[in-house]
């Protein structure tokens, strides 16, 4: 059965794919390293009661919900996403939460809020899909109050590490995965975007995501690899052998892969 191409699917979610992507995003949020990354972000942001927070690219809203617990009745947390299907799912999940929480459809570069409205903007694993990153930073600057914080966490897909004996093919696969999104090296480029905008960079932390199983790793990259086979970029026989090696490593308990990125925070 063909796998869902996650890298394409998260750029343009369709009704036929929504159930698969919802399950996938729920599983991503439950990965131990993903949860560790969110804890690091919260420590950096020091979210307090009364804060107004924008969560850009909120997906299913799990992290938006967690931040809403911290801001109290005089604060507010808004999650936005480019896809209305995601917003519908997020709104339905938390409509009875009684928290200062709402969800709206919006592009990263065009948010429907007045200037200097938010104390904090958070955006995680989203800018690698955005074509106009400079315009997104300009929009974040417009939306934040003076002294407000912008926190961005993103990946460098070129730095994806996979424990495999076939190094040339692994490098080819990693390059194809990275080139499957508009900004595959987003983490490496983040600091230049902060430096070229109105934000004063205050903190940088390395962060890695380690898939907790080969099965989950296959769900992350398997569909995109199948796209590479269909496009003639990757050879089907070589890919079968490549997966077979990882299956064997998994049976031995020695499978290893790691998505590497950076958390960068700045102040307006």
Domains of the chain: 6-267 (3.40.50.150)
Dist CA 46 CA 263 (whole Å): 15
Dist CA 114 CA 14 (whole Å): 30
CB 57 within 8 A of CB 99: no
User: Considering only CA atoms, which of 108, 104, 101, 106 is closest in space to residue 123?
Assistant: 108
Per-residue tokens: 113: 């809020």
Dist CA 37 CA 41 (whole Å): 6
Residue 24 has a pLDDT of: 86
Write the pLDDT tens digit of every residue in 93-132. Answer: 999 999 999 999 999 999 999 999 999 999 999 999 999 9
Residue 209 has a pLDDT of: 94
Residue 1 has a pLDDT of: 43
Q: Where are the beta strands (DSSP E) in 61-100?
A: 76-81
User: Considering only CA atoms, which of 54, 49, 110 is closest in space to residue 77?
Assistant: 54
Per-residue tokens: 259: 């998505």
**CB neighbour class for 167 (10 Å; exposed up to 12, middle 13-18, buried from 19):** exposed
Q: pLDDT 10s digit of each residue in the chain, 268 long?
A: 457 777 765 666 666 677 888 888 888 999 999 999 999 999 999 999 999 999 999 999 999 999 999 999 999 999 999 999 899 999 999 999 999 999 999 999 999 999 999 999 999 999 999 999 999 999 999 999 999 999 999 999 999 999 999 999 999 999 999 999 999 999 999 999 998 888 987 899 999 999 999 999 999 999 999 999 999 999 999 999 999 999 999 999 999 999 999 999 999 9
Angle, helices 84-94 vs 62-71, to 10°: value is: 50
Q: For residue 12, give every residue at least 6 positions away whose Cβ sits within 8 Å of its Cβ, in sequence order, or none.
A: 83
Residue 14 has a pLDDT of: 64
CB 167 within 8 A of CB 216: no
CB 124 within 8 A of CB 36: no
Write the pLDDT tens digit of every residue in 169-201. Answer: 999 999 999 999 999 999 999 999 998 888 987
- Cα angle vertex 192, ends 186, 197, to 5°? 115
């Amino acid at each position: 059965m063909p796998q869902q191409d996650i890298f394409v699917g998260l750029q343009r979610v369709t009704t036929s794919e929504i159930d698969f992507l919802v399950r996938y995003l729920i599983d991503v949020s439950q990965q131990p390293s993903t949860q560790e990354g969110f804890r690091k972000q919260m420590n950096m942001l020091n979210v307090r009661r009364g804060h107004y927070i924008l969560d850009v690219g909120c997906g299913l809203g799990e992290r938006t919900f967690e931040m809403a617990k911290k801001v109290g009745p005089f604060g507010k947390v808004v999650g936005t996403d480019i896809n209305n299907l995601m917003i519908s799912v997020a709104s339905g999940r938390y409509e009875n939460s009684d928290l200062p929480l709402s969800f709206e459809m919006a592009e990263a570069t065009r948010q429907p809020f007045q200037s200097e409205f938010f104390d904090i903007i958070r955006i995680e694993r989203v800018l690698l899909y955005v074509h106009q990153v400079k315009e997104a930073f300009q929009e974040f600057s417009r939306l934040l109050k003076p002294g407000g914080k912008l926190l961005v966490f993103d990946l460098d897909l070129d730095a994806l590490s996979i424990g495999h004996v076939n190094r040339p093919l692994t490098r080819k696969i990693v390059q194809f995965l990275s080139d499957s999104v508009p900004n595959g090296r987003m983490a490496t480029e983040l600091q230049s975007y902060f430096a070229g905008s109105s934000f004063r960079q205050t903190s940088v932390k390395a962060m890695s995501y380690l898939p907790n199983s080969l099965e989950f790793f296959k769900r992350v990259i398997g569909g995109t690899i199948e796209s590479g086979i269909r496009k003639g970029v990757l050879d089907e026989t070589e890919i079968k052998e490549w997966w077979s090696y990882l299956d064997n490593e998994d049976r031995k308990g020695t499978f290893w892969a790691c998505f590497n990125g950076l958390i960068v925070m700045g102040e307006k």
